[in-house]
A and B are shown apart, each in its own frame.
Chain A
Amino acid sequence: MANIELIEKLSNAFGVSGYEHDVRDILKREVREYADKVEVDVLGNLIALKNIQKKGHMVALNAHMDEVGLIVDYIEDDGFLRFKKVGGIDDRVLPGKRVLIGKSKIPGVIGIKAIHLQSKEDEKKAVPSKNLYIDIGAKNREEAEKIVPLSTPVVFKTKFEKISRSVYIGKAFDDRLGCAIAAELLKKDYNFPLMVLFTTKEEIGLRGAAVGTYKYTPDISITIEGTISADLPEVKDHLKCTKIKKGPVITIKDSGVITDNDLREKLISVAKRKKIPYQFKQVIAGGTDSYRIQLSKRGVKVLTVAVPVRYIHSPVSLFNIEDYDNTLKLIGEFLKIL
């Protein structure tokens, strides 16, 4: 069953791409006593190894620690912060949201011109993120700069919580759900060498994963994700990508990977035998760390399994804990047959 406490801690943690320290610390503490060796590499990836002395093919589980967010790139004379987006965020989710800035988690709000002052044209147009700003309540640039130096990262201020039976909301489920599953799976016993790779900088171009399997290179790698679900009103059935409450999402092909046919068939047969619901990712778009990992040295066989999540890359996303449990179970059962 799901370790809700761990998911909560990970979801609430601060970890914009390139600033994954908090997430890494949580995961390090979580896996330390179950791993033979825990390392952090040059790009900040966290690598936990188990059974390295054992013979056999090495299996890797990987998930990324970073989340989408913002970064402060300019400060106005009157103390307002301008920002750039880190990762793919729809501009339309930004106005009117609360954020936390930097290590000391300075609170701020993303303002917008009051509706009363908008022209008919303004009302209909989305505000491009380059025109938005964060208000930290500073009175001028000097004051703001002291508290928030340029390049300080910013996350959405969203608390993890349960809103109805089996349904949770929070930020960064992409990919803290994958991190939680990978950490949980590491705690079990295996008779083959296992590597769990928590990567950095996924949202800015799969950068951590590009080097994460260089020192230790697995034979098989399973990328665990929180993936897009568009089972929303007015979305045609074949465009929903994935649906919540329909089980783990198995990727056949995305923009950078065709997952290994044999392994995928084995994974599906495990799901069938164990009566675990599953679904295929419908849209051939988006990429994951498995793209980089499959290219390591002579090549790595990869699979991608994900928990369906609505509204990823926004201030608040939503998932069903049954999907999480089934994803954990499916990968767990699959590892048993290797």
Chain B
Amino acid sequence: MDEALLRRLTDMSAVSGEEEKLHHLLESKLSSFVEKTNSLKNGSFYALKKGSPGKCTLMLDAHIDEVGAFVTGVTKEGFLRIHSCSIDKKILPGAIVFIHGKETIKGVIGLKPYHLETPEEIKKAVPMDKLFVDCGMSKEDIEKIVRIGDTVSFTTDFLHLQNFISNKSIDDRVGVYVIVEVLRNLKRKTPVVNVVGHFASQEEVTGLGAITSTYYLKPDFAIAIDVTHGTSPDVFKRDAFELGKGPVVFLGPGIDSVVLRKIVDTAKKYNIPIQKEVDISSGTDQVEIQIVGKGIPSVVVSVAERYMHTPVEVIDMEDVQKIINLLTLFIEDLDEQFMEALYGEH
């Protein structure tokens, strides 16, 4: 396990639309064990590991963008107004954030003292349009650095909890990390298929990377690696998965049954415990990937993660290792028979 890499990946800021910030790190990590790497204009990045005979291509997809907010205004006192569609406003008061202007600066999301509010107001979440970021600067000073539209992201603090780790944007840098490690593992045995690692842009907002890169890369089948909800006291058990109990495999009408069966069989064959998530839509890049071009057989494998879209997301590294093993073995075990089954049905 290369924990330092996961740490670097989660420490870096790249709100949707700013994914190129991660490209250099990916390039430097991947170039020694794949045949090709490239940055795409849509903000995605990909790495190609050639197979032998390599008649088919498998795409492993994880998104590199993270949730964030945007600056929507500057008050006359110099506070920034912000908006976000992906962050729970309830976690913002009392948070420290980065503002990515001409330079990256830090600010505090303030809250009015409660003696100035009615007992009713205190019980409500502060609406996004009442929140503000305080950088301790006047309007004149801050406008030299920050413009409307600049992104705002969580500050970072990689923590070792007792059995787990925590940081911002584990969603979905852990998927990115898994793909890097799987590509690294493929050095030991050349796969029969080409494997393209796709590090997708804008999953949190538009699905741009998943849609347009898939069209460009033309994979024959795909696996999206993302996070799903982990258990905690305020979450229904049926909505969430236990940390440490293994990869979560997604089941439902949007999933390709042949690829899914092979994943489940691989887990069984190698004694890798898995958990099963059933829903209509996975809410991941897979939803977009499936309907690109002639259609792509695709599945989702996830890491159970607590407190998704907060600065304190929590996962178990053992689950991560199990996903890396599962996907590596899945690829190593692919054979002509599987390809026939896959295309026999499509």
Instruction: Report yes or no: B132 in contact with A233, Cβ–Cβ below 8 A.
Output: yes
Bound: A111/B161 CA distance, A: 13
User: Which label, helix, strand, loop or mixed, suits the secondary structure of the A interface?
Assistant: loop
User: Closest Cβ of chain A: how far from B277's Cβ, in Å?
Assistant: 13
Of listed A108, A123, A135, A285, residue having the most chain B CB within 10 A: A135
A292-326 contacts to B (CB < 8 Å): 310-312, 314-318, 320
Bound: A108/B160 CA distance, A: 9
Interface segment out of the listed A34-42, A125-133, A270-278: A125-133
Instruction: Report yes or no: B163 in contact with A138, Cβ–Cβ below 8 A.
Output: yes
User: Taking the complex as formed, is B162 at the interface, i.e. its CB lies under 8 A from any CB of chain A?
Assistant: yes
A123: chain B residues at CB < 8 Å are 88-90, 125
A138: chain B residues at CB < 8 Å are 162-163
Binary A-proximity of B170-209 (CB < 8 A = 1, otherwise 0): 0000000000000000000000000000000000000000
Instruction: Report yes or no: B134 in contact with A133, Cβ–Cβ below 8 A.
Output: no
User: Taking the complex as formed, is B123 at the interface, i.e. its CB lies under 8 A from any CB of chain A?
Assistant: yes
- CB within 8 A of B91: which of A107, A112, A244? A112
Instruction: Report yes or no: B161 in contact with A135, Cβ–Cβ below 8 A.
Output: yes
Size class of the B contact interface (CB-based, 8 Å) = 35 or more
User: Taking the complex as formed, is B339 at the interface, i.e. its CB lies under 8 A from any CB of chain A?
Assistant: no
User: Given A107-B159, A109-B307, A123-B88, A311–B125 Cβ distance below 8 Å?
Assistant: no
Q: Which chain A residue shows the least CB distance to B106? A: A163
Q: How many A-B residue pairs have CB under 8 A?
A: 212
User: Taking the complex as formed, is A189 at the interface, i.e. its CB lies under 8 A from any CB of chain B?
Assistant: no
Bound: A228/B116 CA distance, A: 12
Instruction: Report yes or no: B106 in contact with A232, Cβ–Cβ below 8 A.
Output: no
Q: Which chain B residue shows the least CB distance to A320? A: B136
User: Closest Cβ of chain A: how far from B63's Cβ, in Å?
Assistant: 15
Instruction: Report yes or no: A126 in contact with B90, Cβ–Cβ below 8 A.
Output: yes
Instruction: Report yes or no: A126 in contact with B125, Cβ–Cβ below 8 A.
Output: yes
- CB within 8 A of B122: which of A90, A107, A285, A316? A90
User: Closest Cβ of chain A: how far from B214's Cβ, in Å?
Assistant: 24
Q: Which chain A residue shows the least CB distance to B305? A: A114
A136: chain B residues at CB < 8 Å are 161-162
Binary B-proximity of A89-112 (CB < 8 A = 1, otherwise 0): 011111111100000001111111
Instruction: Report yes or no: B125 in contact with A109, Cβ–Cβ below 8 A.
Output: no
User: Taking the complex as formed, is A1 at the interface, i.e. its CB lies under 8 A from any CB of chain B?
Assistant: no
Interface CB pairs A-B, < 8 A, 7: A96-B312, A98-B157, A98-B159, A135-B314, A164-B135, A230-B116, A233-B77
Residues of B within 8 A of A (CB): 75, 77, 79, 86-96, 105-108, 110-116, 122-126, 130, 132, 134-137, 141, 157, 159-164, 166, 229, 231-236, 239-240, 244, 283, 306-312, 314
